[in-house]
Amino acid sequence: MDSLQKNGLITEELNVYYGTNHAVKDINLTFPKHTVSALIGPSGCGKSTYLRSLNRMNDLVEGTRVTGKIWFEGHDINDQGEDLQQLRRRIGMVWQKPNPFFKSVYENVAFAPRYHGMKNLDEIVESCLRKAALWDEVKDRLKDSALALSGGQQQRLCIARTLALGPSVLLLDEPTSALDPISTAKIEELMFDLKKDYTIIMVTHNMQQAARISDQTAFFLLGELIEVDQTKRLFTNPKQKKTEDYITGRFG
Amino acid sequence: MSARLSFHEELEKLHQNLLKMGTMVEEAIHLSVKSLAERNEDLALQVIHHDDEIDGLYLDLEKECFRLIALQQPMAGDLRRIATVLKVVTDLERMADHAVSIAKATVRLKNEQYVKPLIDIPKMAGLAQSMVRDALKAYIDQDLPKCYQIGKEDHQVDALYKEIYNELIGIMQEKPETVNQGTQFLFVAHYLERIGDHATNLAEWVIYLVTGKLEELND
């Protein structure tokens, strides 16, 4: 597939079922490399479920069935034979609430590389903390507990921890909804920097955030993809009335 | 959802105030040309004094737009509506200034006998005025065909301007004593031509409001 050269991830006719509940319906989306994509929509619209299916996290939820194709690095990762551990190194996830390990700042980043037998842990830790724009704030406190950091710092630590595994795609599920505006601004700035090296896909409830930092925005409603477009177009001149109603607050 | 409802009520108020300003500007243009044709200084002074009120409304509308952008973070159609108001009020304000300039020409010429009866200037004024009126109607009805019609009418205004220009130059060359008066009429014709351009801008903003596309109607 030629398009995989310039695209980080593509889903084709992706469906997710929880038992009999058809939560995500026939989603065709393309995530170009080195861009930030925002998934927006009201609670329960399937955007987080969709995001979780992108690195097979839904496999962990009992009764879940995912059909369709997810093209990544030249093959369909929704295939039964996929090595999930390897997959989740390449497609990392950052959650809504910062969830650092009950360990030191250093160990949070070094833990997984050490587990995988990687060398030069000091270098990896420094480089990942730098990429996550946290190094200057924690370089003198590497031995301190990660839980002593502020919420915003913890979230950047979680991003650094994800980067340590060498992913090419980052999935973020409302990464700033538990953070204050200044920490939020730092994370947003960070995403802007990180997209040079990664494909970023983010679920957000904050439409201004989607408008500020994403290149393309996808609007989900009741499990369906209503509209996807360049962010600047979607927020100034959406094609679908449902999108217009949602983003102007005329919904429901 | 009451906060949102009131936002949409505020948008409606913005819309109403824009129409109010539009009507006032249309009236100012009408009266300024009438004052010139009838050599009515009182009417001219009325237009000049009335302009403060238009300027006041202009500033209020601008402030209101900035306030809504800052506090409501409007998106999509709401954003386009506010952006349109912000641009349209500028065009309307300029038109009102041109009406004032025409009224001032009336005052300057109050003691002069006109070299010839005014025919083409009122004709041009009538056309410019109807463009302004149509643009406001097109805004209310979000009427795209009318917007394109206004673009065509602007070509007629431009053609009339050229005719008047050539005629006045001819008269002034023939009778140098008419230079003062001729220059005033040239200015008036130029103001009317500009009013036509601003009306065309209005039509372009209506197209943007409806379609989200920015277009040039007078190429």
pLDDT value at position B1?
Answer: 44
The string of pLDDT tens digits covering residues A61-101 is 888 999 999 999 889 999 988 899 899 999 999 998 899 99
How many angstroms separate the CA atoms of B212 and B219, rounded? 19
Q: How far away is chain B from the Cα of A242, in angstroms, using its nearest Cα? A: 12
Q: Give contacts of A251 with chain B, Cβ < 8 Å.
A: none
The string of pLDDT tens digits covering residues A6-49 is 788 999 999 999 988 999 999 999 999 999 999 999 988 999 99
How many angstroms separate the CA atoms of A40 and B206, rounded? 29
The string of pLDDT tens digits covering residues A156-195 is 999 999 999 999 999 999 999 888 888 889 889 999 999 9
Residue spans of alpha helices (H) in A76-172: 84-90, 105-115, 121-131, 135-138, 151-163
pLDDT value at position B7?
Answer: 84
Q: How far away is chain B from the Cα of A218, in angstroms, using its nearest Cα? A: 15
**A34 half-sphere exposure, CB direction, 13 A CA radius:** 4
Q: Give contacts of B215 with chain A, Cβ < 8 Å.
A: none
CB pair distance less than 8 Å for B76 and A208:
no
Q: Does A248 touch chain B (CB under 8 A)?
A: yes
The answer to whether B178 and B171 are in contact (CB under 8 A) is yes
Confidence of residue B111 (pLDDT cuts 50, 70, 90): confident
* Beta bridge partners of residue A30, listed in sequence order: A10
pLDDT value at position A4?
Answer: 62
pLDDT value at position A156?
Answer: 93
Residue with tokens 């009417």: B43
CB pair distance less than 8 Å for A248 and B74:
yes
- Please tell me the pTM assigned to this model: 0.80
Average pLDDT value for residue range B74-93: 94
Q: Between the CA atoms of B50, B55, B61 and B66, what dihedral angle is there, to the nearest 10 degrees?
A: -170
The string of pLDDT tens digits covering residues A226-246 is 999 999 999 999 999 999 999
The string of pLDDT tens digits covering residues A186-224 is 889 999 999 999 999 999 998 889 999 999 999 999 999
CATH superfamily of B3-211: Phosphate transport system protein phou homolog 2; domain 2 (1.20.58.220)
The string of pLDDT tens digits covering residues B29-64 is 999 999 998 999 999 999 999 999 999 999 999 999
Q: Does A172 touch chain B (CB under 8 A)?
A: no
Q: A222: which 2 tokens?
A: 């009741």
pLDDT value at position A62?
Answer: 87
If you measure CA to CA, which chain A residue comes closest to B79? A236
Q: Give contacts of B74 with chain A, Cβ < 8 Å.
A: 248
How many angstroms separate the CA atoms of B214 and B219, rounded? 13
How many angstroms separate the CA atoms of A244 and A189, rounded? 27
For chain B, give the mean pLDDT: 92
How many angstroms separate the CA atoms of B81 and B209, rounded? 6
Average pLDDT value for residue range A114-123: 92
Q: Give contacts of B7 with chain A, Cβ < 8 Å.
A: 249
Altogether, the residues listed in chain A come to a count of: 252
Burial call B149-179: b when 16+ CB within 10 Å, e when fewer? bbbebbeebeebbeebeeebeebbeeeeebe
Q: A165: which 2 tokens?
A: 């595994």
Report the residue of B6, B75, B211 to disrupt the A interface, i.e. the one with the largest count of A CBs within 10 Å.
B75
Question: In this structure, what are the phi and psi dihedrals at residue A118, rounded to the nearest 5 degrees?
Answer: -80, 150
Question: Taking the domains of chain B in order of start, what are their residue ranges?
Answer: 3-211
How many angstroms separate the CA atoms of B8 and B15, rounded? 10
CB pair distance less than 8 Å for B79 and A211:
no
ipTM of the shown complex: 0.70
pLDDT value at position A154?
Answer: 94
Domains, chain A, with CATH or none: 2-247 (3.40.50.300)
Q: How far away is chain B from the Cα of A215, in angstroms, using its nearest Cα? A: 16
The string of pLDDT tens digits covering residues B148-188 is 999 999 999 999 999 999 999 999 999 999 999 999 999 99
Q: Does A247 touch chain B (CB under 8 A)?
A: yes
pLDDT over 90 at A1, yes or no = no
pLDDT over 90 at B147, yes or no = yes
Q: How far away is chain A from the Cα of B78, in angstroms, using its nearest Cα? A: 7
Percent of chain B with pLDDT over 70: 97
* Beta bridge partners of residue A11, listed in sequence order: A29, A70
The string of pLDDT tens digits covering residues B16-35 is 999 999 999 999 999 999 99
pLDDT over 50 at B106, yes or no = yes
> What amino acid is encoded at B95 in this protein?
M
pLDDT value at position B134?
Answer: 95
